[in-house]
Amino acid sequence: MTDPVLSIRNLTVEIPTRHGIFKPVEHVTYDLHPGEIRGVVGESGAGKSMTGNAVIGLLDPPAHVSEGEVWLNGRRIDELDAEDKRRIRGKEIGMIFQDPLTSLNPLFTVGEQLVETIQLHLGLAASEARKRAIALLDRVSIPDPADRFNQYPHQFSGGMRQRVVIALALCTEPSVLIADEPTTALDVSVQAQVLDLIKELAKERQVGVILVTHDMGVIADTTDTVTVMYSGHVVESGTTDQILGAPTHDYTKSLIAAVPRPHTKVERFPMVSYGERERTFKIDDLAAHWDKTNLSKTGKLLEVENITKTFLQKGGLLPSQRQYFTAVDQVSFDIRDGEVFGLVGESGSGKSTVARMIGTLYPLDSGRVIFDGEDVTAMGTDALQAYRRQIQMIFQDPFSSLNPRMRVGDLVAEPIHHHQILSKAQIGPRVRELLDWVGLAKDAWRKYPHEFSGGQRQRICIARALATQPRFLICDEPTSALDVSIQAQILNILKDLQDHLGLTMLFISHDLPVVRQMCDRVGVMRQGKLVEVQETDSLFATPEHPYTRELLDLMPRLKQLA
């Protein structure tokens, strides 16, 4: 093998805080060879990005490198002064950030930003720089590069902007590219194209790429080698096949066990927990208190008939100037008693809007929602309150779905209180029982949400959702903000709820492997329309609609996983 282009030895980063010195990166060591794509994977806070920032000299004070060495092409660069480090940035090491929408200066044209970088590092004349910039835009597959050269960033779509960012990072022929979650903010179809582009360029130009990500699918499809990080340490490094196929470290094992498989459905996720040990979810205690007598009259708990919702996209004084956007267009489906019905689609496909329409958060423009044989859209105040008692919702972001100014106990008590299900004296004990059942500590009720981790918060949300003993649960991307091992725990809890309590669920996700594990039937949405509904297994085996086929093709194969 050739000599490494980048070599990180024993790197430690320190942040002095009020409570002592915090080390987000400790003794990290790995190499990067020309043309190699090295995935750095780990959960949020594992120190993946911080390592990249330390290499390129972009740590925000007071964070600083306290120990270790960084070698670039045989030259030690961690001890250089600020000015020399700056010369390396952009010239020898390029960088790509997560969000392409904010990475470009909105007040300068794409061309100005490219030319500026090229001239700075390569010292070319303006016309030469321009030629080179246009060639690069062409190389990253931007159509009409000469015209696009003079446009401003806001005139590009998200995926196109990320291509421009890649062009900017590569315009000076660097030998190393650090890509920090480069596709997390993009849709699956765009994500695949951008990753392919990075792969091609790495091979073509022999650039070493550090690809920081939390997504095992990206790792499996794109990288050659993988470094796994856990709380600031490297726990394991090796080739991608080796790490995914035969992990040796316990953490890596637990991480890989928790990844939802796209091709087979498992009963439960295997729980090899490492680090944050969660208390168990007491489904039997919960089931003992649950009233399971109500079954629906028709076998269909929820029917949705031709629902449509349009939003005002651009206001105007005159009606003719206004532009509307049809978020949900004539969507119909029904959900049987006790089943989990999945809705998948890319962002903007209208799946969350459907959930919110069923949850009475958005009024319908037209169509009907029928719950247990009763038309929700025609309900009076009292009937509507009764309906709301039967449905509950779990949201994507557990950091925003709990009011930060309320105690956990009050949060869980709120639905009980509002629907006057129990007397005041009974509420307190019931809330404590609920929190105990979902696996939180005895004193959780008097704490505030910020004292809990993401997974624990999602448990609080589940406790709140179960407080009114609902029959129908809407889960809107309930795990997409969570790390993969926590995701497995929460998904297991949801599976238990369905099995033991007979809860009916609408499960919304953009993640096909997760949908495969969770749902009995699946509907696919695209641009506001429901294009296909099938039993889960047959949808994955024999997709009918071309769009479904496209989505399935883009799904990470994870072929290395057993």
99 binds other proteins per the rule CB under 8 A:
yes
∠ CA 506-99-58, nearest 5°, is 135
Residue 150: phi and psi, rounded to 5, are -95, 10
The answer to the question of residue 102 lying near other proteins (CB under 8 A) is yes
Say how many residues make up the chain.
562
# binding residues, other proteins (CB under 8 A): 60
Residue 442 found at the interface with other proteins (CB under 8 A)? no
The H-or-E segment that residue 221 falls in is helix 216-222
- Under the binding rule (CB under 8 A), the answer on residue 9 touching other proteins is no
Q: Which stretch binds other proteins (CB under 8 A): 63-71, 90-98, 207-215, 224-232?
A: 90-98
Out of 137, 168, 304, 444, name the contact with other proteins by CB under 8 A: 168
Which CB atom, from 57 or from 68, has the smaller least distance to other proteins? 57
- Distance, CA of 110 to CA of 100 (rounded, Å): 13
For position 119 contacting other proteins by CB under 8 A, the verdict is: no
Q: Is 155 in the site for other proteins (CB under 8 A)?
A: yes
Other Cβ atoms less than 10 A from the Cβ of 126: the count is: 10
- Can you tell me which of 120, 379, 422, 561 binds other proteins, judged by CB under 8 A? 120
* Residue 249 in contact with other proteins, rule: CB under 8 A: no
**Alpha-carbon distance 490 to 520, whole Å?**
18
What the block records as the tokens of 204 is 């073509």
Binding-site string for other proteins from residue 10 to residue 49, where x marks contact by CB under 8 A and - marks none = --------x-------------------------------
Beta bridge partners of 512: none
Contact 13, 23 (CB under 8 A): yes
- The verdict on 238 binding other proteins (CB under 8 A) reads no
C-alpha to C-alpha distance for 368 and 357, rounded to whole angstroms: 10
Q: Provide, rounded to whole angstroms, the least separation between the CB of residue 415 and other proteins.
A: 5
Q: Does 88 bind other proteins (CB under 8 A)?
A: yes
Instruction: List 340's β-bridge partners, or say none.
Output: 505
For residues 218 and 391, which CB has a smaller minimum distance to other proteins in the complex?
A: 391
Is 298 an interacting residue with respect to other proteins (CB under 8 A)? no
The C-alpha atoms of residue 358 and residue 506 are separated, in whole angstroms, by 10
CB of residue 347 vs other proteins: minimum separation in angstroms?
A: 16
d(CA 411, CA 400): 13
177 contributes a contact to other proteins by CB under 8 A? no
Q: Residue 309: name the closest of 158, 525, 497, 124 by CA.
A: 525
CB of 295 to other proteins, least distance (A): 23
- The answer to whether 172 touches 121, Cβ cutoff 8 Å, is yes
94 binding other proteins? (CB under 8 A)? yes
Q: Output the smallest distance, CB 106 to other proteins, in A.
A: 6
- Verify binding: residue 212, other proteins, rule CB under 8 A: no
63 binds other proteins (CB under 8 A): no
Please tell me whether the peptide bond between 62 and the residue prior to it is cis, using omega within 30 degrees of 0.
yes
* 534 residue type, one letter: Q
Shortest distance in whole angstroms from residue 292 CB to other proteins: 22
* Residue 351 interacting with other proteins (CB under 8 A): no
Based on CB atoms, which residue is closest to other proteins, 274 or 387?
Answer: 387
Q: Please, which residue, 306 or 403, has the CB nearer to other proteins?
A: 403
Residues ≥6 apart with Cβ < 8 Å to 314: 321, 322, 323
Residues contacting 279, CB < 8 A, separation 6+: 439, 440, 441
- The mark string for 380-419 relative to other proteins (x by CB under 8 A, - otherwise) is ----xx--xx-xxx-xxx--xxxxxxx-------xx--xx
Asked if residues 249 and 236 have their Cβ atoms less than 8 Å apart, the reply is yes
CB 39 within 8 A of CB 222: yes
Is 64 among the residues that bind other proteins (CB under 8 A)? no
Question: Hey, how many other C-beta atoms are within 10 angstroms of the C-beta on 22?
Answer: 12
**Which residues of the shown chain bind other proteins in the complex (CB under 8 A)?**
18, 56, 58, 86-91, 94-95, 97, 99, 102-109, 116-117, 120-121, 151-152, 154-155, 165, 168-169, 356, 359-361, 384-385, 388-389, 391-393, 395-397, 400-406, 414-415, 418-419, 461, 464, 468
